Amino acid sequence: MAVISYREALRAAMREELKRDDKVVIMGEEVAQFNGAYKVTEGLLKEFGPKRIVDTPISEAGFIGLGIGASMLGIRPVMELMFWSFSYVAFDQIVNNAGNIRYMSGGLINCPIVIRGPANGGTNVGATHSHTPEAILASHPGIKVVCPATPYDAKGLMKAAIRDNDPVYVMENTILYNDKGEVPDEDYIVPLGVADVKRVGTDLTIVAHGRAVITSLKAAEILEKEHGVSVEVVDLRSIRPLDEETILASVRKTHRALLVEENKPFCGVDAQVAYLIQSKAFDELDAPIHRVSSIDAPQIYCKRMEDLQMPNVERVVAEALKVLA
Amino acid sequence: MAKPAVLTHPESLKRPAGPSEYAKNPVNASLSKADKIALYTKMARIRHFEQRCIRIYQQGKIGGFLHLYVGQEAVAAGTISLLGKHDHIITGYRDHGHGLMVGMGMNECMAELTGRVTGCSQGKGGSMHYFAPDKNYWGGHGIVGGQAPLGTGLAYAVKYMGLKGSCLVYMGDGAVNQGAVHEAYNLASLWDLPVIFVVENNGYSMGTSQERSTAHPGCLAKRAEGYNMAWDVINGHDVYEVRAKTAIALKRAHEESKPTVLEIFTYRYFGHSMADPDKTYRDKEEIKEYREKKDPVLAFEQELLGEKVLTPELSQKINEAAMAEADKAAIFADESPDPTVADITKHIYWEEDNRGPKTTSRGTIIFE
Ligand SMILES: Cc1ncc(C[n+]2csc(CCOP(=O)(O)OP(=O)(O)O)c2C)c(N)n1
Ligand SMILES: [Mg+2]
């Protein structure tokens, strides 16, 4: 097993899929000659040439829509959004077209597109560039959404996404791009819709996705060391499809749940998870479910305040202690 | 349709800066000595403010993005220097120069960059999101092209209210490929709105040269013809030329309520943002050549020295004062407090900030 970064893991996944399937095309702003705004696609132009690795103008509605159209005819585009925040100018394509075409054609047309890019706050760039649209997008049937937290998951989910025959939106995180982790050398995928227990525990279940998983794991350490609490951390990995069984199995074991996500609270992913737990494991709960999400406001620019706006280790520890009280 | 009054082909623009052929143009000839010195002072202030920003960024006090305007000063300076009471402006994220030109203070601008509550947006917007509506400056917009419909709307409002005014909408050469820009072009022309789309063509959108991003019929401004709009091209290093040609568009807006597309050829000296190492997509020689031959601030200084409006001593005084002002702004930003956690949930809704009899909604609006 090699130890590689989250960024390298994403690149390796694309590289392997480009080699495996000549229908795979990488497209986006600055992905080719500039090697990617965040260098995720570095070296791919050199290796695969300009037919497979394509720079686009700043026309998200146009090129994302074009990718969706091409996918209808069997191309497998992997489209980079420099930030998922820019998906908002392509919302019609991403939601109305990619999300509905199969349904409205009575199953005649497939849309095997991948749209990927970072979707996170915490980088001091203000409200327009800090959106986390996984909940908004996953609320549309027809769309799949995944949020990898580790290099292993980033590679496995990306490969699964590219092989998947439905639109899959992969939400990465610029703050995780340099994180390193073990990734197998042989071919593997992480199937969409399979959560992962990132830490085993008995007293409290924390459910998280994306970078909130990393924050929760740090909080779990502190809870163990300083408070003698054994915390289980369930990483959703995939928002839709959602692995209900892994969440429920953990709650049945610990009887307490804390849900952590970077979204703003209203209609967040964890609103759905909370409903799931109360509807299918209500009798198992020894305490009300709590949540930690971002403070309900557009993303503030000031870095010191943004760090407090988002879920951080201190807030997760404090909220966990409330669930355990 | 109205043909542009003066038409220069981009090829003919590759001449070095020299005494401006637009010095005698009425809008420039009518400037007093004091006006000219004030205009030069403003350009120098933009230059020194941003050069100070670089240091603060390198000290780690500005995070996120910092898009510098260095090299492009004559665009904001020339266009904004013509504006009156009912003329408005809106731009993208490369917005510091426009802010200083409309009269924002260096202190509030600097403090915004470091996220202080004393910043123009109280530390909530940052570098890409400056606002000063009291000075007819409507931002500072982070999403490429997003400002084009907004600016068209500002022009619509000006016209609706029966005012003789306009809106100048600034955007980059990459932004012209956003759908929103094209929709705005059509609306502006269809509804005869007093808007001037200013395309600040600095040759690159991030690492993509203009030739690699855009199909066009000779120049970007000419796309206006497809919308039956007037257009013109301008040498962006010559503040006199910027003023002379913008004045024509402004007159068209004020007197005929018609839109114009102006493409202004300019250049940025630094990377796209401070995060861009700027090593791969352009030649260092190219930057050097522009700096040496067409630097807009130096060119105007030369011009004014030639006109005997400026003396080397006065110029030095102006530049030193601008540097000192920027230094003071940096200290102000350092010493200013941050917003508080309570501030995070302020300014989201008018309703929340104005509880009282005028509030027309009920229920929970900010969630935990
Ligand atoms: C919709 C959208 N897509 C992409 C970006 C990222 N981005 C910011 S600036 C930029 C380049 C814009 O270039 P140009 O319009 O030429 O303006 P310049 O930066 O040269 O002033 C890109 C791709 C964005 N902010 N918004
Ligand atoms: Mg540009």
- Could you tell me if A175 lies within 8 Å of chain B, comparing CB atoms? no
What is the mean predicted confidence (pLDDT) over B264-268? 97
- The reported pLDDT for the residue numbered A275 is 98
> By alpha-carbon position, which residue is closest to atom 7 of ligand 1?
B144
Q: Residues near ligand 1 with C-beta < 6 Å? A: A 29, 58, 60, 82, 86, 89; B 94, 142-144, 172-175, 200, 202, 204-206, 272
| Contact criterion met (CB < 8 Å) for B341 and A298 | no
- For a mutational test of ligand 1's pocket, the pick from B141, B197, B199, B205, i.e. the residue with the most ligand atoms closer than 8 A to its C-beta, is B205
Report all structural domains of chain B as residue ranges with CATH numbers, in order of start: 17-353 (3.40.50.970)
Q: Where are the beta strands (DSSP E) in A72-157?
A: 76-80, 114-118, 144-146
Select from A29, A85, A295 the Cβ nearest to the Cβ of B345: A295
Which residues on chain A are in Cβ contact (under 8 Å) with B180?
89
| Contact criterion met (CB < 8 Å) for B126 and A62 | no
Residue of A302, A305, A307, A310 to mutate, interface with B, max B Cβ within 10 Å: A302
Angle ∠(B307,B69,A299) on CA atoms, nearest 5: 150
Minimal C-alpha gap between B119 and chain A (Å): 10
Residue type, B335: E
Minimal C-alpha gap between A299 and chain B (Å): 8
- The reported pLDDT for the residue numbered B274 is 95
DSSP state of B96: H
What is the mean predicted confidence (pLDDT) over B349-361? 87
Which residues on chain B are in Cβ contact (under 8 Å) with A54?
none
pTM of the model: 0.96
Q: How far is CA B186 from CA B91, B231, B264, in A?
A: 19, 14, 21
Residue type, B131: F
Listed residue (B198, B293, B237, B248) closest to B20, CA to CA: B237
Q: Which residue has the tokens 């220097």?
A: B81
Burial class (CB in 10 A: 0-12, 13-18, 19+), A252: middle
User: What is the tens place of the pLDDT at every residue in A21-36?
Assistant: 999 999 999 999 999 9
- The reported pLDDT for the residue numbered B166 is 98
CA–CA separation, A278 and A293 (whole Å)? 19
Q: How far is CA A282 from CA A235, A272, A289, B2, in A?
A: 21, 14, 10, 72
How does residue B352 score in pLDDT terms, banded at 50, 70 and 90?
confident
| A75 φ/ψ angles, rounded to the nearest 5 degrees | -70, 150
| Contact criterion met (CB < 8 Å) for B213 and A30 | no
- The reported pLDDT for the residue numbered B16 is 58
| Contact criterion met (CB < 8 Å) for A302 and B214 | no
In three-state form (DSSP H/G/I as H, E/B as E, the rest C), the secondary structure along B233-272 is EEECCCHHHHHHHHHHHHHHHHHHCCCEEEEEECCCCCCC
User: What is the tens place of the pLDDT at every residue in B19-37?
Assistant: 899 999 999 999 999 999 9
How does residue B17 score in pLDDT terms, banded at 50, 70 and 90?
low
- The reported pLDDT for the residue numbered B18 is 72
Q: Measure the CA dihedral A284/A289/A293/A296, to 10°.
A: 140
- The reported pLDDT for the residue numbered B353 is 87
Active site (catalytic) residues of A: 60, 129
> By alpha-carbon position, which residue is closest to atom 11 of ligand 1?
B205
What is the mean predicted confidence (pLDDT) over B160-169? 98
- The reported pLDDT for the residue numbered A103 is 98
- Could you tell me if A310 lies within 8 Å of chain B, comparing CB atoms? no
User: What is the tens place of the pLDDT at every residue in A73-108?
Assistant: 999 999 999 999 999 999 999 999 999 999 999 999
- The reported pLDDT for the residue numbered B98 is 98
Per-residue pLDDT of chain A (325 residues; tens, 9 = 90+): 999 999 999 999 999 999 999 999 999 999 999 999 999 999 999 999 999 999 999 999 999 999 999 999 999 999 999 999 999 999 999 999 999 999 999 999 999 999 999 999 999 999 999 999 999 999 999 999 999 999 999 999 999 999 999 999 999 999 999 999 999 999 999 999 999 999 999 999 999 999 999 999 999 999 999 999 999 999 999 999 999 999 999 999 999 999 999 999 999 999 999 999 999 999 999 999 999 999 999 999 999 999 999 999 999 999 999 999 9
Query: Pick the residue with more confidence: B351 or A245?
Result: A245
Between the CA of A57 and the centroid of ligand 1 the distance, in Å, is 10
A36: left (phi over 0), alpha (psi -120 to 50) or beta: left
- The reported pLDDT for the residue numbered B2 is 40
The average confidence (pLDDT) of chain B is: 94
Cis peptide leading into residue A298 (ω within 30°):
no
- The reported pLDDT for the residue numbered A126 is 97
Report all structural domains of chain A as residue ranges with CATH numbers, in order of start: 2-183 (3.40.50.970), 196-324 (3.40.50.920)
| Contact criterion met (CB < 8 Å) for A305 and B345 | no
CA–CA separation, A64 and A67 (whole Å)? 5
Which residues on chain A are in Cβ contact (under 8 Å) with B213?
57-58
- Could you tell me if B342 lies within 8 Å of chain A, comparing CB atoms? no
- Could you tell me if A301 lies within 8 Å of chain B, comparing CB atoms? yes
- The reported pLDDT for the residue numbered B358 is 80
